[in-house]
Chains A and B, each alone.
Chain A
Amino acid sequence: MEASEARIASAADGAAGRRRLLEAPALFAYAGAALVAGLLLAFWYSPVDASSMGFSQKILYYHAPIAWAALVAFGVAFVAGILYLRSSDLRYDRLGLVGVRLGLLFSLLVMGTGMIWGQAAWGTWWAWEPRLTTFLIACLLYAGYFVLRSMVDEEARRATYAAVFAVIAFVDVPITFFATRFLPEGLHPVVIRPGDTGMEGSMLLSLLVSMLGMTLLLAALVRLEYAAELLKDEIADLKTALWEVGQ
């Protein structure tokens, strides 16, 4: 009796804190503002690209920020993984899960926009060029993260393994990019690389604004999803406590 009442009480305390986390709408508002600003700048302020890509280069202004956001998300999972291994606090495990999930979402968007851009710029839907290839591998890699989680039943062990994998995976991503960019496959070097044009100042500004917007959007989504995970845990705790009270 004692233990379950205490658990209900502590769940209630936690609830107040978690509800505070849900006040993420401000972040979404800022993100939206920055993204809209970036879009306007990209089309009305930055000049059309002088290279052969021409107008299709405009895709870069969201494509690159999304790629950046994906890497930040994976970075969050990396840090969360380390913090979990040091503290064994399951909330870091939740944060890592959220980071990987959002990173995966953004990575898929990178590939989608990258493919559309590829078709517009080179006339082919796919090319084994460094960015597309690296993000494809990242998608497969972090999908493995979810496979790993689904195959370990015990919670602490699952969190530990997931954390180790998130750390290893994040270290591997830049290495993979480096490998695809600088180690020519076979004897024929990889040549296709869109965005080789130098970025003028006005282009850079639009890009940076959009990057800020995407980062804010990621932050807002992380907050929202993290709060959701904590709510799920709270529900599980409450259900356990209620079940015990009922005994």
Chain B
Amino acid sequence: MTIEQAAQYVAAAYAVILIVLIVYFAVTARRVSGLRRDVELLRREAEKREARGEGA
């Protein structure tokens, strides 16, 4: 196998690694920011209800 042919395989392997890891990271990061948003929403809602409860 010539170096050019081997280089294609090597490039393919590293490309696979890079793509998989980037995609995985992107998906996870998006999921985390979604979760953070939800937590904020819920906490604000909880504080609101607490205040209403105490006011009444």
Contact = CB atoms under 8 A, between A and B. Distances in A.
Chains A and B touch (C-beta atoms under 8 A apart): yes
Interface of A: 1, 5, 8, 11-12, 15, 22, 28, 39, 54-56, 58-59, 62-63, 66, 105, 108-109, 112-113, 116-117, 119-120, 217, 221, 224-225, 227-228, 231-232, 234-235, 238-239, 241-242, 245-246
Given A11-B46, A55-B3, A231-B32, 12 more contacts: A5-B53, A39-B14, A55-B7, A59-B10, A59-B13, A109-B21, A113-B17, A224-B32, A225-B28, A234-B39, A235-B38, A242-B45
Contacts of A234: 39
Nearest to A239: B42
Contacts of A228: 28, 31-32, 35
Contacts of B38: 231, 235
A102 B51 CA distance: 42
Chain A interface, >50% SS class? helix
| Size category, B interface | 20 to 34
Contacts, number: 101
B9 A116 contact: yes
Given A5-B50, A62-B13, A55 B39 contact: no
A240 to B, nearest CB: 11
A56 B10 contact: yes
B26 to A, nearest CB: 12
Interface of B: 1, 3, 5-7, 9-10, 12-14, 16-17, 20-21, 24-25, 28-29, 31-32, 35-36, 38-39, 42-43, 45-47, 49-50, 53
Given A109-B16, A235-B35, A242-B45, A55 B10 contact: yes
A183 to B, nearest CB: 29
Given A55-B10, A231-B32, A109 B42 contact: no
B51 to A, nearest CB: 11
Contacts of A8: 43, 46-47, 50
Contacts of A221: 24-25, 28
B21 A217 contact: yes
A1 B56 CA distance: 13
A238 B13 contact: no
A171 to B, nearest CB: 27
